[in-house]
Amino acid sequence: MVKIEIKSLSGSLLFLSEHENNSIKKTLEEAVRKGAHLRGADLRGAYLEGADLRGADLREADLIGADLIGADLRGADLRGAHLRGANLLGAHLLGAHLRGANLEGANLDPIKNDLFNVLIKAIPEIKNFRQAIVHGKIDGSTYHGECACLCGTLEKSNSPIIANRIKNQRNSNRPIEIFFLGIKKGDTPETNQFSKIALEWTDEFLSYLTEANTIN
């Protein structure tokens, strides 16, 4: 029998599991299934590839360097979690809460690709969208108003075709919209990591457009 403990960052025991062929992944999945309190869990460097963590309460958990490739994080609460260097490639983030999470160095390609899928449908509006990020005019919690989320900002286009096209992209559970919930009115790339990353991704997308135009 293999006994595995999940402890908090302060060292207190949060969950204990003892099974044959046990692993941290199996223990964490069991803890989630049983509704264990996992807030502030120490999961640094944990191998959690493909783990079923739907609905897990991992607020303020330390997941630095954790392998979360293909993990199912739908509905998981990761507010304030440390995800620096974590691998989120292919992770399912439907309905996950990320606001306040430390994402430095995390593999966020699935989220970035989702942003690109939206931006490519509103190319004439991207520069205005970029300015909104720079000047703190993004509010990820609403589709309407002076400060709005990704789709809400792009929908301000003077082109009814683009506005309608982007409106059809609305989905509060898609990865990039969940990501943008980490940005509120007044947040800028200098004060908010989500804004900073969104700006970097937008500039990356614009660089591809410039390169394509140069080739053509």
The Cα 126–Cα 120 span in angstroms is 9
pLDDT in tens, 32-45: 999 999 999 999 99
- Give strand ranges (E) for the chain: 2-7, 13-19
pLDDT in tens, 161-206: 999 999 999 998 888 998 998 899 999 999 999 999 999 999 999 9
Can you list the domains of the chain with their CATH numbers? 1-107 (2.160.20.80), 111-215 (no CATH)
Calculate the alpha carbon distances from 125 to 75, 158, 194 in Å: 31, 9, 20
The pTM (predicted TM-score) of the whole model is 0.81
